[in-house]
Structure 1
Amino acid sequence: MDAKYISHIELHEVAHSFVMNEEEVLLFNDLNLLLSRGSAYAITGPSGAGKSSLLMLMSGLEQPSQGRVSASFEGQHTGMQDVREHIGFIFQQFHLLPELSALANVALPLKLRGVKDAEAKAKSWLAKVGLGHRLTHKPKQLSGGEQQRVAIARALVFEPGFIFADEPTGNLDAKSAADVADILFSCCKENGAGLVLVTHSDALAARAEHVFRLANGACHVEK
């Protein structure tokens, strides 16, 4: 399935909970949300509201306690398992492989897909995020902002239909956070990808076209 045909991700009456001390804790209930490719969404709310859990459900990395999450392509609905390989995820902790260079980290998703010119495409994406001069450096030789740029390049290198980012600027200083945000939004726009991010930053959330605020088990669409 080609990612370019993925047009929407939809949540249908989704609820999610977990068990703590033998008691069920409800994070949110009865969510009905639509994500469209090419648009940017921010998920905000207080700590413990379930922002990261919602992101994991939207991306198909976890299953909801109730309801369902589906994707649309060519007018047909399908389960998230059918489109998972066409979705990119950016973690707050970067999750780069420490023994690999920046180039090897970015090329890896392509090599796993059998793409023959993986390194050439990886070089191109590292240049796009301003790291064309750091190809051979390993993560420990890069700053936090540079590591996050590598993570962005790795997530976008296979041209996914949607990018999901969990606090992508949460571990960065103000200057690095602003630079990473600029790169993330511009690269997703250039690629026509949908962007969904969790953030505590009001400034970052304001850059998204739509804001979902989670609080007290409900999701409020603020714009």
Structure 2
Amino acid sequence: MSCYIELQNISQSFQATQSKVTLFNNLNLRVEQGKSYAITGPSGAGKSSLLMLMSGLEQPTSGQGIYSKNGQSHSLAYLKTDIGFIFQQFHLLPELTALNNVALPLKLRGDKRAMNKAKIWLEKVGLQHRENHKPSELSGGEQQRVAIARALVFEPNFIFADEPTGNLDKDSAASIADILFDCCRENNAGLVIVTHSDALANRAQQVFSLADGQLNNPLANVEVA
């Protein structure tokens, strides 16, 4: 049975120096395992905040999120073991090799086959020949491939990617997009991408635009109050 994440009447605001800033109000959104989604919009619109809320890594000011798995509903806190997160800045540990960076999430879970699984995933992203190199010895595109392998190594139900090609040149960005979409498709993982790149966004099955507190896509499974 497919899993899904649903946000219900989500609002997010924060206190600035002299005023309250509201990113969005009463937003409703549902994303499903096995499908791909892109969130676009101007800087400061709240795209990254929305991604953090959907992944359960941040709490909304109001509203609730639901994670449905195997026909049962849970809070988004339950998502922690079922998601992978990919950042624009890679967030690799500089003292570890590519292989050990990928294996780390499995090691933290006590998986005795962590290194073998990490090798398999480095091969999937085309970096088996770089497994003993540290991040400082890799190009930006190679570092992002390691980050993708690390996010997918435990075969999560959902992958969240925040500007995954933002620091890469055009050719590297296209290559990373190929790997990201292919790997998620092969593993039936839901993919949610925040991006300023139209080329990357247009590869998703559904594209949302977040601006002025509203999320728009008339063809999407989304409502805006």
Q: Could you state the TM-score of these two structures normalised by the residue count of structure 1?
A: 0.96
Please report how far the alpha carbon of residue 6 of structure 1 lies from its aligned counterpart in structure 2 after TM superposition: 6.1
Count how many residue pairs are aligned between Structure 1 and Structure 2.
219
Residue 26 of structure 1 is matched in structure 2 by 22
Residue 87 of structure 1 is matched in structure 2 by 83
Q: Which amino acid aligns with 2:61?
A: S
Structure 2 gaps of 5+ residues are: 220-225
Q: Which amino acid aligns with 1:24?
A: K
Given the alignment of the two structures, is residue 54 of structure 1 paired with residue 39 of structure 2, yes or no? no
Distance 2:2 2:127 in 1: 29
Identity of matched residues, % = 66
Q: Secondary structure at the match of 1:133?
A: helix
> Which one of 168, 176, 187 corresponds to residue 183 of structure 2?
187
Please report how far the alpha carbon of residue 83 of structure 1 lies from its aligned counterpart in structure 2 after TM superposition: 2.2
> Which one of 122, 126, 135 corresponds to residue 126 of structure 1?
122
> Which one of 93, 107, 112 corresponds to residue 111 of structure 1?
107
> Which one of 208, 212, 216 corresponds to residue 220 of structure 1?
216
Please report how far the alpha carbon of residue 34 of structure 1 lies from its aligned counterpart in structure 2 after TM superposition: 0.6
Misfit runs of 4+, over 4 Å:
none
CA contact (8 A) 1:213 1:222 kept: no
Q: Secondary structure at the match of 2:56?
A: coil
Residue 93 of structure 2 is matched in structure 1 by 97
Residue 223 of structure 2 is matched in structure 1 by none
Q: Secondary structure at the match of 1:83?
A: helix
Aligned residues: CA RMSD:
0.9
Given the alignment of the two structures, is residue 164 of structure 1 paired with residue 175 of structure 2, yes or no? no
Given the alignment of the two structures, is residue 153 of structure 1 paired with residue 149 of structure 2, yes or no? yes
Distance 1:27 1:95 in 2: 26
Please report how far the alpha carbon of residue 70 of structure 1 lies from its aligned counterpart in structure 2 after TM superposition: 1.1
Distance 2:74 2:36 in 1: 22
Q: Could you state the TM-score of these two structures normalised by the residue count of structure 2?
A: 0.96
Please report how far the alpha carbon of residue 76 of structure 1 lies from its aligned counterpart in structure 2 after TM superposition: 1.3
Distance 2:208 2:64 in 1: 18
Q: Which amino acid aligns with 1:132?
A: Q
Structure 1 gaps of 5+ residues are: none
Q: Secondary structure at the match of 1:213?
A: strand
CA contact (8 A) 1:16 1:29 kept: yes
> Which one of 197, 201, 207 corresponds to residue 211 of structure 1?
207
Please report how far the alpha carbon of residue 18 of structure 1 lies from its aligned counterpart in structure 2 after TM superposition: 1.1
Q: Secondary structure at the match of 2:3?
A: strand
Distance 1:118 1:222 in 2: 43
Please report how far the alpha carbon of residue 23 of structure 1 lies from its aligned counterpart in structure 2 after TM superposition: 1.2
